[in-house]
Chain A
């Protein structure tokens, strides 16, 4: 009892209560739906009558559950906005120095908050899922609530409302890497995608469980498309953030956390194609269960990999174990076994259509494309799991980006080939000669582009094949999109438009990552330097002004063009004293000029060196090897006697390749407090004095006079050809997805109205 009261006294009770209420209401929801199922079964199978009372109870409970979660999240936001540092989470992730929007973004800066926002979206989406669930609602909502229960249990166990037992005046602050506009919106959107992945899973598992194999695909389709779009958008934003903010020059690094979102995206891609096949031709009926299963399980698996600490030594932004790896394993294992059990026991019963397609037909090519994407997803999963897989055999290893790049090249080529044929294939099958005839115009376009690429600088045969097929995929699908548009407007053009986007992205990827040019230069202030066809001049250092960080002004001039300025940032995070670098990107239609700061030397004549440290002033390199306490008499003895003390600083000074030993002196008269620092001559001109001694850390402060020491800025200047195509292609895919979703929703409404009309 005592134990319990201590526990309770360390909780922010309103928040914790809301969370516990959510748990109770979630249990009520499941109980209610279970009752509805039992009553329905007793009534002879799922009729709406007889179980209305239980169903109403369950629906209300779910409403209260969702409300409790919203309340929990609101409570957390409120605590953050009030900067109530009594609460551990608020203390750990936010601080007084943050502007309001970053303070709000601290919500998802930590583990617990991320799970809370995931649960928040899941609970809200559930309200809509209930409306679209149809006659199988009790089973679907039962499974769906169960998926949310997993997250809820983690939060109940690792309560986000734990208090510190004291009231700090300031929090620890937000990780400086996360203090970026993109990071304010990217994580919450990602979690919408994660939450949405549970919806097709719930539809599929409920359908298997209740042996109602018809109709689920249709209802789950818009959800699968929606999840695909949201996840795609979130991945795009993450890449954009990496490119614009992190400054390592790329948008994708095959990091485990990135892969953890990309793998579900790939499985989701197979799922939307499979559901399309099922809707159109009644095919893929077994496969779609597997796809829905894999999409959700891969989300859980990714969460397990990145949140349980198993990859802590291998990833950029992996979290360490917070003591929840057991829960995550349970969550993953539980849903995996549940799904597997349902799949295995129902497999034989699922009705199928025999595959009698000709080789050159839409059906066969869909199968091939699906297999290719599945292979890609599994290979990336294997790569991401490398530390786990190799742990069994020897010391854990990871695979570098080269693995993913090499393996994806053949996959991308194959995908491009399949995509370029898709617009011409029909369900009935086609003759090759017909297809060839239709492909003349796009073919000419693709060949022209490939020749242009070869003339430019692409010579690798694989890369040329890649360009040819990507361009072909783009052109054939564009042709088809335009054709569809002329016949029936935007309706039905979504899928082909998305394929155009894939072609565009593939071209952007190969150009920007295979043929970028990077140069590292060090610029002296106001001295122009030629890098390729541009001339760079470091103009000035602009100090911090309000929220605008320290920037460097660099002029870029190209012969015959108006010069422009770029402003890469290299600034100190005031709280952590970390140096942060932000690149600046100048976009032109055909290439990006990516200017990333490496090092800035303010050119001050002062240095502080600890023993053994080396520093530089202008062209003079100074190494501090230690103090000499015997420079003039014994300094320690003199100090104790209160007499004038003389200390020498032993320096190794290197200039123009020659090293000289120097020993400037520092004299202190303790009686008068007077300090004398006689200068020593530097070889090659100028002088050096000891301007101070830091007794606490044994460091020496040096100051030089008469040494030319201009400001210096080291930059990494990269030219990335056609990188805009990557973003442009992603927008096209997202747009295509939106069009398809709108079309599916329209069809669903139409069908419902038809059914109503029939019933009436």
Chain B
């Protein structure tokens, strides 16, 4: 093979990969959205809010944690379902970030991952994640 042709081939491969990365990047982006936007969309997003006191329960049968997030500014509510372990410091959280998508059928936000922000004494406010 001629050298120049190789460079062209290599260049094309690089461009193709750059395009592939870019589309993957766009599709796996999880933007912060309001509860309203979260209810409309079918993509993975992040929502943040405070835990509504006393709203959490672990449903053994479904192996899921249920709780309600409250938007501090608008006082909007969002019911969240998280399949997994209840984070240990969950009840003390000052803010919870849920990453996932809205489930139209059960009218719940199905979280795949939780970031729990605690009024931590350790490091100002530390963030821990559970996936």
Contact = CB atoms under 8 A, between A and B. Distances in A.
Given A313-B115, A395-B32, A172 B121 contact: yes
A375 B14 contact: yes
A180 to B, nearest CB: 14
Contacts of A573: 88
A318 B21 contact: no
Contacts of A398: 29-30, 46
Contacts of A92: 121-122
Interface in B42-66: 44, 46, 48, 53-55, 57-58, 60, 63
A488 interface: no
Given A320-B123, A359-B1, A390 B29 contact: yes
Contacts of B40: none
- Range class of the A interface residue count: 35 or more
B60 A253 contact: no
> Chain B interface residue count: which class?
35 or more
Interface string B87-99: 0110000000101
Max count, chain B CB within 10 A of own CB: residue among A375, A386, A400: A400
Contact of B123 (A255, A319, A394): A319
Nearest to B6: A359
Contacts of B33: 395
Nearest to B54: A612
A578 interface: yes
A522 interface: yes
Contacts of A312: 125, 127
Contacts of A596: 85
Nearest to A579: B88
A611 interface: yes
Contacts of A13: none
Interface stretch (A26-34, A49-57, A58-66, A402-410): A402-410
Interface in B96-124: 97, 99, 115, 120-124
Interface in A104-121: 109-111
A399 B30 contact: yes
A325 interface: no
B91 to A, nearest CB: 9
Given A397-B29, A611-B54, A318 B127 contact: yes
Contacts of A709: none
B60 A714 contact: yes
A520 B55 CA distance: 24
A687 interface: no
Interface string A237-273: 0000000000110000101000000000000000000
Contacts of A395: 31-33
Interface string B69-86: 000000000000000111
Given A375-B14, A579-B88, A581-B85, A382 B25 contact: yes
A172 B21 contact: no
B83 to A, nearest CB: 8
A403 B3 CA distance: 33
A316 B128 contact: yes
A406 B88 contact: no
B25 A383 contact: yes
Given A390-B29, A399-B25, A313 B97 contact: yes
Contact of A407 (B14, B20, B97): B20
Interface in B1-39: 1, 3, 6, 10, 14, 17, 20-21, 24-25, 28-33
Nearest to A250: B131
A313 B128 CA distance: 10
Contacts of A531: none
A613 B54 CA distance: 5
Contacts of B46: 397-398
A403 B28 contact: yes
A248 B131 contact: yes
A610 interface: yes
Most B CB atoms within 10 A — which of A247, A382, A578? A578
A403 B120 CA distance: 31
A520 B24 contact: no
Contacts of B53: 610, 612
A67 to B, nearest CB: 31
A375 B17 contact: yes
A313 B54 contact: no
A379 interface: yes
Interface string A604-633: 000000111110000000000000000000
A576 to B, nearest CB: 7
A320 B63 contact: no
B57 to A, nearest CB: 5
A247 B129 CA distance: 12
B54 to A, nearest CB: 4
Given A172-B122, A175-B123, A316-B128, A578 B88 contact: yes
B60 A522 contact: yes
Contacts of A177: 128
A316 B30 contact: no
Given A318-B127, A359-B6, A394 B31 contact: yes
Contact of A400 (B20, B32, B44): B44
Contact of A253 (B48, B97, B131): B131
Contacts of A610: 53-54
A745 to B, nearest CB: 36
Contacts of B88: 573, 578-581
B24 A403 contact: yes
A579 B89 CA distance: 7
Interface in A401-452: 402-403, 406-407, 410
B13 to A, nearest CB: 9
B97 A397 contact: no
A598 interface: yes
Interface in A135-183: 172-175, 177
A599 interface: yes
B14 A614 contact: no
B38 to A, nearest CB: 12
A571 B126 CA distance: 21
A598 B85 contact: yes
A382 B21 contact: yes
A93 interface: yes
A77 interface: no
A624 B98 CA distance: 28
Given A399-B29, A613-B54, 17 more contacts: A175-B126, A312-B127, A313-B97, A313-B115, A316-B129, A317-B127, A319-B123, A371-B14, A383-B25, A395-B32, A400-B28, A402-B28, A403-B25, A407-B20, A598-B84, A610-B53, A712-B60
12 contacts: A92-B122, A173-B121, A175-B120, A313-B97, A382-B25, A395-B33, A397-B29, A400-B30, A520-B63, A576-B89, A598-B85, A714-B60
Closest 10 CB pairs of A and B: A403-B28, A579-B88, A397-B31, A612-B54, A578-B88, A320-B124, A397-B29, A316-B129, A175-B122, A399-B28
